[in-house]
Amino acid sequence: MTTTLLEHLARGAGAIASYAAVGVILMIIGFYVIDLATPGKLSHVIRTERNPNATLLATSALAAVGLIVAASIWGSGGRLTDGLAGTAVFGLVGIVVQTLAMLLFDRVVGISVRDLVKEPELQPGARLLAVTHIAIGLITAVAVI
């Protein structure tokens, strides 16, 4: 059975919208997980206090989630239902692993997210945690593929 161009485009647009929705939901979850790890309301700390450490940690966590979402889409092989389920599960796993890494860095290395976001100047520890976020996102993304 052949499909028309319009049917093909509609199906593709629906897949894009579905993946985008799952990706946005995962990024919102990731943002609020970082929010739980920081003192005060993260959006306020970023928007009003313009804290570079909080901003860097939040953006790196969201970029890592984006890597996982992209890899999940790539790894789905065009199977939308499987791809959406994988994206949700792998994205949540990535968020959990990022959170555990932050807690581990706090305990083992002594780099506290709570202390970092109290500092008004960009701190080396924030850079280290940001790279850790991206690395975990990349590791998770490659594992998905």
* Cα 55 from Cα 61, distance rounded (Å): 10
| pLDDT band per the 50, 70, 90 thresholds, residue 63 | very high
Q: At what angle do helices 124-144 and 52-75 cross, to 10 degrees?
A: 10
Contact of 96 with 103, CB cutoff 8 Å? no
Nearest Cα to 46, choosing from 37, 62, 57, 30? Answer: 57
Q: Given this model, what pLDDT does residue 130 score?
A: 93
pLDDT digit string (tens) for 9-26?
A: 998 999 999 999 999 999
**Cβ(114)–Cβ(103) below 8 Å:** no
User: In terms of pLDDT, which residue wins out, 54 or 106?
Assistant: 54
Q: Evaluate if residue 125 carries a pLDDT over 70.
A: yes
For the ranges 11-15, 51-55, 71-75, 137-141, the maximum mean pLDDT occurs at 51-55
State the residue for tokens 């008004």: 120
Q: Give me the pLDDT at residue 98, please.
A: 86
CA–CA dist 67, 142 (Å, integer): 9
C-alpha angle 101-41-23 in degrees, rounded to nearest 5: 60
pLDDT of 3 > 80? The answer is no
Placement of tokens 């028309």 in the chain: 4
Q: At what angle do helices 80-104 and 52-75 cross, to 10 degrees?
A: 150
- Assess whether pLDDT exceeds 70 at residue 1: no
User: pLDDT tens-digit profile of 82-118?
Assistant: 989 999 999 999 899 888 888 888 889 888 888 998 9
